[in-house]
Chain A
Amino acid sequence: MNKIYRVNMKDLTCKIEEVPAAWAGLGGRGLTSTIVAAEVPPTCHPLGPNNKLVFAPGLLAGTAASQSGRMSAGAKSPLTGTIKESNAGGTSAQSFAKLGIKAMIIEGQPAEGKLYELHVNNDGVTFHDASALKGKQNFDVVDAMNAKYSPKIGVVTIGVPGEERMKAANISVKDPDQKLRSHGRGGLGAVMGSKGVKVITIDDSAGSKVEIADPEKFRAAAKVFAKAMLDHPVTGEGLPIYGTTVLINIINEAGGLPTKNFRYGTCEHHDKVSGETLHDVIAGRGGSTKHGCHPGCIIQCSQVYVDENKEYITSGFEYETIWGLGINCMIEDLDDCARIDNAMDNIGIDSIEGAVILGTAMEAGMIPWGDGKECLRVMNEEIGKATPFGRILGNGTKSVGDAYGLTRVAVVKGQAIPAYDPRTIKGIGVTYAMSTMGADHTAGYAIATNILQVGGHVDPLKKDGQVELSRNLCIATAAVDSTGMCIFVAFPALDIAECLPSLIDMINARYGINLSGDDVTELGKTIMKTEKAFNDAAGFSKADDRLPEFFEYEPLPPHNLVWDFTGEELDEFWNF
């Protein structure tokens, strides 16, 4: 990976540049955040000509390492106003690696209203008029590109909410089964829309295998790493059988499952939408309970959800989405939840933000609680068609709260809080507050240690040790996000001693370098500090590193706890 593609949407040119020495050791989030921090003015309008949209595969993309095919997208986020990285599965990272593209930077803006397809191959990028795709949603775009090229073509696309620059719009990436995975969070679809890019097609047929500096060492390390994935009970057994939705019941038992827009910590109908039930429904109907979001995933946490006639409804049906619809919006019918999930994939709305948007619209009285059919209509007919009501929703949870004068609005830095209540799972609350990207559970997944007892145990109900826990997890995650590995490698990494060293060995063998474990921790710290410096320069301060006030005065049943960290306690997070 020795090329940077620099795409200018103002004059429709692509320059192929060499990789600057300072970027050579970076990939994934480490690279997108470094480029955004270096080249985007922090105070710029996220939808204006000075923002840049950066795609970068991880350091191990294109190799035989399992779990290594995640693609990072970065920019200044229109949803949060902070720096943003969001990574996704699909086939784009491996294609970029084959083509030797270390990063693609999309800058500038075309004449008003123009829409383009960017076609990426070994020679660079060509620009094609995409006005025929205007108003089309993602699955139609995928079909059109498959017809234009072949089903092998890589596709990265936005739906109408992205075209219309709504802040909850995501960027979708075709997966190996012609379905979609998403760069979900932070409204990066709106940034792509603001650049006039409707779709990116990737032809990697003239690419080559990625070169490995020390193939023997790489093979040996890859074997140890894959064994750790298969040996750990969570990645080897729990995730492939039940998927991430297994969390519904355990978070419910712990009293931290946000219910009816964050009113309660347990939900009576939890088992109707639990991972156990999801597994039984899929297995009973003949869908597939295991599925990988990219070639080379051996964990396979994903699944294909079908209806009673075995017709596809959705895939990549994750815990956070099922929580958001099934519990937080009180939609008890799993089929309804699956149809809404598919609609969000199709129109291109982040499925976490989208679910919390619906819950907040219910809070506002605009949709009846639990009405799955109405939610499906709102997705397709209001948000998907960019009606005035749809725009209020499509601009995010905060937008709904502002429009209807609500106080129970679960966001940090404008981004929706996902499926774990911070009042009873305090470690994740610290991550929500302090993350450089707004509320994001993956930034430092304290659930592992607070609830699942992976990597030790820190009592979720008490404040002790939570800031340190969250800080350490955030630093480690920033480093892992640079490798291009999916986040679930963290479970074996926290418990199996050989796992992390084998990951570092793979990076060393791939590039012929000599990183140590400490170097990797330092990399994580540097990435976080780079991101924070961007946010500070964009106008963020300590006062933004806080949870919404209602968590401080509404005790959450059944433990009846409130969020009780002081500002000073939280600010210790940055003491490293």
Chain B
Amino acid sequence: MKITVKLFAGFRNDRFKVDDLEFPENATVADVLGALKINEPELGVAMINGRHVAKDQVLKGGETLSLFPKVGGG
């Protein structure tokens, strides 16, 4: 299944800003992190279609998954 993955801040280094990637059925957010070689503790926020999700969230295909490292401001 196809997932549109958007990366932000330091996650973009040596990777990409946005890309359509193929994953097996029932892949989770953690599986996407693994495929991108991002250590799980580095993840700050994961969102699917603008809503926060947990790392064990199962993907259905066709979603946009946005991944952020731990960032902040104010």
Does A275 sit at the interface, judged by CB under 8 A?
yes
> Smallest CB–CB gap between A559 and chain B, Å?
7
Contact partner, B69, options A233, A243, A558, Cβ 8 Å: A233
Most B CB within 10 A of own CB, among A246, A447, A448: A246
B50 and A238 form a contact (CB under 8 A): no
By beta carbon, the residue of chain B nearest A244 is: B73
Bound form: Cα–Cα A558–B9 in Å: 23
How far apart sit A241 and B9, CA to CA, in the bound complex (Å)? Answer: 9
Contact B50 A253 (CB under 8 A): yes
User: Closest Cβ of chain A: how far from B5's Cβ, in Å?
Assistant: 12
CB distance from B51 to the nearest CB of A (A): 7
Interface contact B9-A234, CB-CB below 8 Å: no
**Band of interface residues on B:** 20 to 34
Q: Is the CB of A238 within 8 A of B52?
A: no
Q: In the complex the two chains form, what is the Cα distance from A301 to B71 in whole Å?
A: 12
Are A239 and B72 in contact (CB-based, < 8 A)?
Answer: yes
Within 8 A of A (CB), among B12-51: 12, 17, 42, 44-45, 47, 50-51
Check A281 for interface membership: any CB of B closer than 8 A: no
Q: Answer whether residue A69 sits at the interface, using C-beta atoms and an 8 A cutoff.
A: no
Answer yes or no: B62 CB below 8 A from chain A CBs. Answer: no
Pair A250/B71 contact, Cβ less than 8 Å: yes
- Do B52 and A459 touch across chains, with their CB atoms under 8 A apart? yes
Q: Hey, which chain B residues are within 8 Å of A246, CB to CB?
A: 8-9, 71-73
Tell me whether A453 is interfacial, beta carbon within 8 Å: yes
Q: Interface code B1-15, partner A: CB below 8 Å = 1, 0 otherwise? A: 000001011101000
Q: Is A452 touching B71 in the complex (CB atoms < 8 A)?
A: yes
CA distance A255 to B49 in the complex (A): 9
A439-474 interface code vs B (CB 8 A; 1 in, 0 out)? 001100101100111100101110000000000000
Is A242 part of the contact surface with B, judged by Cβ < 8 Å?
Answer: yes
State whether B74 touches A238 (Cβ < 8 A): no
- Nearest chain B residue, comparing its CB with the CB of A452: B72
Let me know if B72 and A461 touch, CB within 8 A: no
Within the assembled complex, what's the spacing in Å between the Cα atoms of A441 and B69? 22
Please tell me if the beta carbons of A244 and B74 are within 8 angstroms of each other in the complex: yes
Chain A residues whose C-beta falls within 8 Å of the C-beta of B9 in the assembled complex? 238, 241-242, 246, 249, 275-276
Considering only CB atoms, which chain B residue lies closest to A250 in the complex?
A: B68
Cα(A271)–Cα(B7), bound, Å: 12
The answer to whether the Cβ of A520 comes within 8 Å of any Cβ in the partner chain is no
- Given known pairs A250-B8, A253-B47, the reply for A239 and B73 (CB within 8 Å) is yes
A432 to B45, CA, bound (A): 24
Chain A residues with CB below 8 A from B60, complex form: none
Provide the A547-563 mask, 1 if CB < 8 A to any CB of B, else 0.
Answer: 00000000000110000
Contact B47 A491 (CB under 8 A): no
Q: A242-B71, A452-B71 known; A253 and B10 CB under 8 Å?
A: no
A40 at the B interface (CB under 8 A): no
Q: How far is the CA of A242 from the CA of B70 in the complex (A)?
A: 12
The total of chain A residues at the interface (CB under 8 A) is: 42
Residues of A within 8 A of B74 (CB): 244, 247, 319, 441-442, 445, 447-448, 487-488
In the complex, which residues 208-266 of chain A have their Cβ closer than 8 Å to any Cβ of chain B? 233-235, 237-239, 241-247, 249-250, 253-255, 266
Q: A233-B69, A254-B47, A452-B71 are in contact. Are A249 and B52 (CB under 8 A)?
A: no
Nearest residue, chain B, Cβ from A453: B45
Could you say which residues of chain B place their CB within 8 Å of the CB of A275? 9, 71, 73
B6 touches A253 (CB 8 A): yes
Which residues from chain A contact B17 at a C-beta distance below 8 Å?
271
CB B74 to nearest CB in A, in angstroms, measures 5
Contact partners of A243 in chain B: CB under 8 A: 73
CB distance from B60 to the nearest CB of A (A): 19
| A457/B52 in contact, CB under 8 A | yes
Closest partner residue, chain B, to A318 (CB atom): B73
* Most chain B beta-carbon contacts within 10 A, residue among A241, A301, A453, A558: A453
Shortest Cβ gap from B57 to chain A (Å): 13
Complex Cα spacing A445 to B42, Å: 23
What's the minimum C-beta distance from B49 to chain A, rounded to whole angstroms?
A: 8
Q: Which residue of B lies closest to A301 (CB)?
A: B73
Query: Which chain B residues lie closer than 8 Å to A242 at the CB level?
Result: 9, 71
Bound complex: CA A235 to CA B71 (Å): 8
Shortest CB distance A299–B (Å): 11
- Asked if A453 and B50 make an inter-chain contact with CB atoms under 8 angstroms apart, the answer reads no
Among B50, B51, B66, B70, which residue has its beta carbon within 8 angstroms of that of A234? B70
Kindly list 19 other residue pairs between chains A and B, CB separation below 8 angstroms, not including A233-B70, A246-B73, A249-B9: A233-B44, A233-B69, A234-B71, A239-B73, A244-B73, A246-B8, A246-B9, A249-B8, A249-B68, A250-B68, A253-B47, A253-B50, A255-B50, A266-B50, A276-B9, A447-B74, A451-B45, A452-B71, A459-B52
Please give me the 7 A-B residue pairs with the lowest Cβ-Cβ distance, nearest first. A244-B73, A233-B70, A234-B72, A238-B71, A247-B73, A255-B50, A253-B66
B residues with CB within 8 A of A: 6, 8-10, 12, 17, 42, 44-45, 47, 50-52, 66, 68-74
Residue positions of A touching B, CB distance < 8 A: 233-235, 237-239, 241-247, 249-250, 253-255, 266, 271, 275-276, 301, 319, 441-442, 445, 447-448, 451-454, 457, 459-461, 487-488, 491, 558-559
